[in-house]
Amino acid sequence: MKLTTLLVVIFCYGMACGQQPADTSYVYKSPSRDGIGKFYFGREIARIMDASGSDWLERPQRSQQENTDEIVKSMQLEPSTVVADVGAGTGYYTFRISQLVPDGKVYAVEIQDELITKLNDKKSERNISNVEVIRGDTTTTNLPSSSVDMALMVDVYHELSWPREIIRSIVQSLKPGGRLVLVEYKGEDPSVAIKPLHKTTVAQLTRELSSMGLKLERRVDTFPIQHFLVFKRS
């Protein structure tokens, strides 16, 4: 056997020849205090906030601290808009948005059982018909294909353990012309009193999402502690 042939056999062993290993975008190292030891484009992925911390999402001062009304306004929703609130948590945004899209719909995507129960309880208590709770998992949103005008992630993206797979799933769920909105704490600003791994920069987010065929279309820079970024397919 020629040396070149032998090298090809060794390279192709264990995978179809010509294919790349399935996980080339991720690097694994020892985890830091607030991270999971998994890196994506040089960024360590943060530990997820579990349901035990969900009261923080509903804190009375949140609206003032994070300008949540202005965030919803900046989404530029129409009455018929279909929105996916990915990582919906307690539904803080889900049920605010649902009031603004009476002819549309809000998919509340969540993976934690306790939070899914809370979302369904709120939906029933408030008798809201245009919210559908969807159980996602770490690699897919389980949203219907080509069903969503706008996907929203508020302080969620930095905790995705499989960001490439989730973004791919979101892109598949978007209608033609659909948008992805990311709201993330400003990693460029050391005065933002949030743990470093729970903040991100515009440069980092743009780098990661452009690898998935998404282009930064619009940004709102008036929020004091958070980025508001709108991406669309390039």
Confidence of residue 22 (pLDDT cuts 50, 70, 90): very low
Average pLDDT, integer, range 178-190 = 97
| Residue range 75-107, pLDDT digits in tens | 999 999 999 999 999 999 999 999 999 999 999
Rounded percentage of the chain residues whose pLDDT exceeds 70: 85
* Structure confidence at residue 67 (pLDDT): 86
- Alpha-carbon distances of 174 from 74, 99, 150, rounded to whole Å: 19, 21, 7
The domains found in the chain, sorted by start residue, are: 22-233 (3.40.50.150)
Report d(CA 157, CA 159) in Å as an integer.
5
| Cα distance between residue 181 and residue 85, in whole Å | 10
**d(Cα 154, Cα 232) in Å, to the nearest integer?**
17
Q: What is the pTM of this model?
A: 0.86
Is residue 120's pLDDT more than 70? yes
pLDDT, mean of residues 122-134: 97
Position 18 confidence tier, pLDDT thresholds 50, 70, 90: very low
pLDDT cut 90: percent of the chain above it:
79
- pLDDT for 6 beyond 60: no
The Cα–Cα gap between 95 and 132 comes to 11
Alpha helices in the chain (DSSP H): 3-12, 62-66, 68-74, 94-100, 113-125, 163-173, 202-210
Mean pLDDT over the full length of the chain: 88
Across the range 32-36, mean pLDDT stands at 97
Q: What is the pLDDT of residue 16?
A: 38
Please compute the mean of the pLDDT values over residues 121-139 and round it to a whole number. Answer: 97
Q: Is the pLDDT of residue 12 over 60?
A: no
Mean pLDDT of 181-200: 97
pLDDT score recorded for residue 58: 63
Q: Determine contact, residues 146/175, Cβ cutoff 8 Å.
A: yes
What's the whole-number mean pLDDT along residues 140-169?
97
Residue among 116, 119, 166 at smallest CA distance from 143: 166
Contact 133, 126 (CB under 8 A): no
